[in-house]
Amino acid sequence: MENWICTTCGTQFAESKEQPRECPICLDQRQYVGYEGQKWTTQSTLREEGFRNTVKEHEAGLTGIGSTPTFAIGQRALLVQTEQGNILWDCISLLDKETVETVERLGGLKGIAISHPHYYSSQALLRWSLTASVQVAE
């Protein structure tokens, strides 16, 4: 079983044998369902299709993490590095070993802060939180 990921908004859902019928995030009036209907992918399919994450330092203490090529709504995470510990601001859909190792090399995570409510349903958030002992801020 795999975690299904909505290709429109990037939200990842719990493991299941079959893909979900619909994405509640995309059904919300502030989002949309693609012209060709609801579509799904998985972590393994994203990797097979050549998606990878890029890590780019924007300035001292602020590092961006995003997927290449752009996936879903093109969201990115920001790693905010402080003397008190690192905070991940938001999550991205693709989480791979290389990204986790890079974040660990940069000091690991003390916590995760989320800007949009639908990220709370994301299994990507869960996967990040399982990589280390982190606190998720509401």
Query: 39-55 pLDDT, tens per residue?
Result: 999 999 999 999 999 99
List the single range of 24-33, 62-71, 79-88 with lowest mean pLDDT.
24-33
Query: What pTM did the predictor assign?
Result: 0.84
Token pair of 3 as six digits: 């975690």
Residue 94: half-sphere exposure toward Cβ, Cα within 13 Å: 29
- DSSP 8-state class, residue 107: T
Instruction: Taking residues 20-24, report their average pLDDT.
Output: 92
Q: Rounded to whole angstroms, how far apart are CA atoms 127 and 76?
A: 16
Q: Rounded to whole angstroms, how far apart are CA atoms 63 and 127?
A: 20
Its sign, for the CA torsion 79, 50, 69, 33, is: negative
Q: Is the pLDDT of residue 116 over 80?
A: no
Q: Which residue range is the domain that position 129 belongs to?
A: 2-137
45-74 b/e (C-beta count within 10 Å ≥ 16 → b): ebeeeebebebeeeeeeebebbbeeebbee
Token pair of 74 as six digits: 């093109």
Count: domains in the chain? 1
Q: Rounded to whole angstroms, how far apart are CA atoms 138 and 130?
A: 17
For the ranges 86-90, 113-117, 119-123, the one whose mean pLDDT is highest: 86-90
